[in-house]
Amino acid sequence: MQRTIVSLFYLLIIISGFCFTALAQLTSTDVKSMSENADLILTGKVLEQTSSWNSDNTRIYTEATIQVEEFLKGTNNGGSVVVRYLGGEVGDVGELYSHMPRFEKEEEVLVFLKRDKSKADYKVLNGEDGKINIIADPKTGEKITTSNVQIKSLKTQIKSYIKD
């Protein structure tokens, strides 16, 4: 009986290991795909954001201005980039869309952006997956993601996927 329990315990550990490996591979695949498909990849800090109604007054859009720290792919002629996304607050009305990124003033981010062909602005590629928050590790002060991945290793990974 005890031997069966111990065997089941080890089996559970092995299966868990496969699940975590599969999740890690999925994340790498997503980063590779976004790196290849993005027009612009950058790190920076959100300076401001403004929300407004569209021309029909049927949807709220927010524009976040990001002060660029580093371009990992592509470039633009300024030191900041405007990202436009669905949702926000205008007066007493707020709209929130699932799987859409949301930005906060002073937030540090790494973003995968796609140029909106019909307008002169950018949108986040793959919704909320295309926006990665950057924080300081409380122990070392090193920049990491909220899932505890070092930003410098993530940047290296992204650059390895980009073909110039």
pLDDT tens for the chain, residues 1 to 164 = 566 554 444 444 444 443 333 333 336 669 999 999 999 999 999 999 999 999 999 999 999 999 999 999 998 777 999 999 999 999 999 999 998 999 999 999 999 999 987 777 899 999 999 999 999 999 999 999 988 999 999 999 999 999 75
pTM: 0.80
CA distance 89 to 91: 6
**What's the confidence (pLDDT) of residue 23?**
35
Q: Can you tell me the distance from the alpha carbon of 25 to that of 19, in angstroms, rounded to the nearest whole number? A: 10
Whose tokens are 């580093």? That residue is: 70
Query: How do the domains of the chain map onto residue ranges?
Result: 2-161
pLDDT, residue 78, reads 78
- Residue percentage of the chain with pLDDT more than 70: 82
Describe the crossing of helices 151-161 and 2-37 by its angle, rounded to 10 degrees.
60
Q: CA-based angle 42:43:47, to the nearest 5?
A: 110
Q: 3-class DSSP state for residue 14?
A: helix
How much is the pLDDT for 118? 74
Provide the pLDDT for residue 74.
92
Q: Which fold has domain 2-161?
A: OB fold (Dihydrolipoamide Acetyltransferase, E2P) (2.40.50)
Beta partners for residue 132, in sequence order: 110
How would you label 97-123 residue by residue, b for 16+ Cβ within 10 Å and e otherwise? Answer: eeebbebeeebbbbbbbbeeeeeeebb
The answer to whether residues 84 and 63 touch, using CB atoms and an 8 Å cutoff, is yes
What pLDDT does 102 receive?
92
